[in-house]
Structure 1
Amino acid sequence: MKKIVRFVILISIISTPLFAQNFSKLYDNAVKSVVTIQTDDYEIRNGNITKTAGIGSGTLIDTIGHVLTASHVVHTANSITVKFQNGKEVKAQIVSSIPSMDVALLKLEYIPKDIVPAKVGNSADAKIGEQIFIIGAPLGFEYSFSTGHISGKVNKSMLARGQLIEFIQTDAAINKGNSGGPMFNDKGEVIGIVSFIISQSGGFEGIGFAVAITPAKKMLFETSSLWTGFEGYFLDERLASILNTPQESGLLVQRVTDNSIASKMGIKGGYLKFNYLGDEILLGGDIILSVLGTSCDSPHNFNSIKAQVNNLQKGQTVNMKILRKGKVMDLFSKI
């Protein structure tokens, strides 16, 4: 019995520093790709337009300058600056943002020297119980490391851009400022994008979630259809009335992707952040009233519209009726 006890103690002494060394090396390699994201935007507060600042995290994933982060970190931002661990700061623009999945893709103006992109893994291969680590800026403490395990996998039973929304649950510490940061597996590969926590106190209580990287990438890099060119918010009857919409509903355009079909049509996105019943939305953009003659009165109608547009042949024309600055206009474009 004594020999067994000594053996267990010896294994514990040997394995603990080896574990720490392995993750220290992984951190040293991974942190070079991690960025702190600083944003500026405007919101309506007490009847006045106020400039606000935000902070989040992200990770560089390729040599072109693409950075993955959470949609809620940047979706309403007017300006975005990313900061690398070596102190270099670079401006960035939003390429694509999907609020329903809480993921966004940024493009840097340039990549500083000696910056190495992160390796992207396959989140489908991640197993419950596996060790992971997270790097981010919790409460403003930049490039902080936390580690834990995969506690579960969650499907929201919602589709966005044709992909099932998937989340990875973890017990690794996550706090404000970690949002958008990378979740790495024990190989140093990104398998998730930190999204949110469930908490009764407002602080971390051991239940956090990251968007699974594999479906997120498929959605963010798909820009071939009209629907991937913009994000919209369905107006309820009350908000439609407030915005003087000439019908009971409509689709308020939030953001338009550069060089997309929606952008070429001339659709305009919003710019003024507004909290409506707990949802952060952008006001000031076009309100889509109808497409191909079908009114955007409900999500059900819009699903029908999507099917009509998707059935159009290349070269055919799609037309939209929109409300812009109080005037009803028609927009046309070839598919």
Structure 2
Amino acid sequence: MGIGSIAVFLLFFAWPSQASEAEPALEDLFSAVNGSVVLVRTRERALVGNNNVGVVPFTDQGSGVLISEDGDVLTAAHLVQVADTVQVEFGDGTKVLAKIVSSEPAADLAMLRLERVPEGAVIAKMGNSDAVRVGQRIFVIGAPYGLSHTLTVGRISARRLPGTLGGPLALAEFFQADVAINRGNSGGPMFDMNGEVVGIVSHILSQSGAFEGVGFSVTSNSIRQLLLTPRTPWSGISVFGLDEKLAGIFNLPQDSGVLVQRVAAGSPGARLGLQPSYLPAKIGEHDILLGGDIILEVDGFQVGKFESYIALRDHLAEIEVGQTVAVKVFRQGRVIELTTTIEE
């Protein structure tokens, strides 16, 4: 065998096959997982004017992904947290009502349960986000500006550990990525090049309001830890935190609390009898509503502080159907106690 023949022999047998290491074609991956992605439509109420007479219904929309045969759909908490009704739409136009079964606003995560799973729906597989590396290719499927089942492609720019981004989303680990996401992508899946869900789209950083190359998705392992095992119950309320300084301004009998902003119809918060706020105001850079209940305690856990929130979160995750939850609120200068029984 000549030298040239030996060289060909070595190249053919000794080197790994390029075809075996190549990523699957993106168009094939899209076709395989697109059936798991849904458009999420919500109906809720917004305040117009300075009193509750001005509360009017409106709709919003985002994205989600089906992850179980039972009809569990992952999406973003900010999309559904105070929704009165939720409906999802699959790629073939099938529409299904859903209820919110779990939510973690401090990680911008929520879980929906479909009334039924349409025939032919694809179940997405959850991936291992710890195995994802900076620089790795990923893709997102969602509904930017309502344009459902839109594919965008990019790379992981950074991994942001819990508490490092600042703001209210302190519990979750995030992937920062340059993949294009816009309004309507929220709650949609980020897939790796194996077609597995490694993140759920949350938010962007932007000076213009449009995508500028900096987007964030909650990692799949954060989802497992914070939403799936165990599941955090959905409250159906949005709140504004009051620190020690604001607690003094509001004349609270303690150094923290949360001011109820909105309450979803039929939610645990509504059954409890929590009163939403109605008077627009501005505190620092925050546009908020005043006039609603201020929650002081839940089952003896003081609210409004991060440390107590973690303890309360763990407590609520262990509560079973039929148990009673007691909530102390500050309403019109008085402390009152509200109770409700946990329903399935």
Pick the TM interval, shorter chain: 0.7 to 0.9
Name the amino acid aligned to 1:36: L
Distance apart, 1:33 and its partner CA: 0.3
* Other-structure match for 1:53: 59
* Other-structure match for 2:44: 41
Structure-to-structure mapping, 1:168-317, within 5 angstroms: 168-223=175-230, 230=235, 233-235=240-242, 249-252=256-259, 267-268=272-273, 277=283, 287-290=294-297, 299=305, 302=308, 306=312
Note closer, same or farther for the CA distance 1:122–1:54 as it changes in structure 2 (3 Å cut).
same
Structure-to-structure mapping, 1:7-22, within 5 angstroms: 22=25
Q: Report the aligned-residue RMSD.
A: 4.4
Is 1:145 aligned to 2:151, yes or no?
A: yes
Q: Which runs of 5+ in 2 are unaligned?
A: 1-17
Q: Decide which moves more: 282-291 or 128-137.
A: 282-291
CA distance in 2, matches of 1:105, 1:304: 19
* Other-structure match for 2:109: 103
Q: TM-score scaled by structure 1?
A: 0.73
CA contact 2:281–2:290 (8 Å) conserved in 1: no
Give the structure with the larger strand fraction.
Answer: 1
Note closer, same or farther for the CA distance 1:284–1:145 as it changes in structure 2 (3 Å cut).
farther
Name the amino acid aligned to 2:138: I
CA distance in 1, matches of 2:155, 2:307: 43
Structure 1 SS opposite 2:172: strand
Aligned partner of 2:98 among 82, 92, 97: 92
CA contact 1:41–1:77 (8 Å) conserved in 2: yes
Distance apart, 1:295 and its partner CA: 6.0
Note closer, same or farther for the CA distance 1:319–1:123 as it changes in structure 2 (3 Å cut).
same
Is 1:31 aligned to 2:34, yes or no?
A: yes
Name the amino acid aligned to 1:152: A
Name the amino acid aligned to 2:47: I
Distance apart, 1:218 and its partner CA: 2.1
Q: Decide which moves more: 146-155 or 180-189.
A: 146-155
Distance apart, 1:236 and its partner CA: 5.6
* Other-structure match for 1:126: 132
Percent identity reads 39
Q: TM-score scaled by structure 2?
A: 0.71
Structure-to-structure mapping, 1:64-103, within 5 angstroms: 64-103=70-109
Distance apart, 1:103 and its partner CA: 1.0
CA distance in 1, matches of 2:87, 2:118: 13
CA distance in 1, matches of 2:250, 2:42: 27
CA contact 1:222–1:228 (8 Å) conserved in 2: no
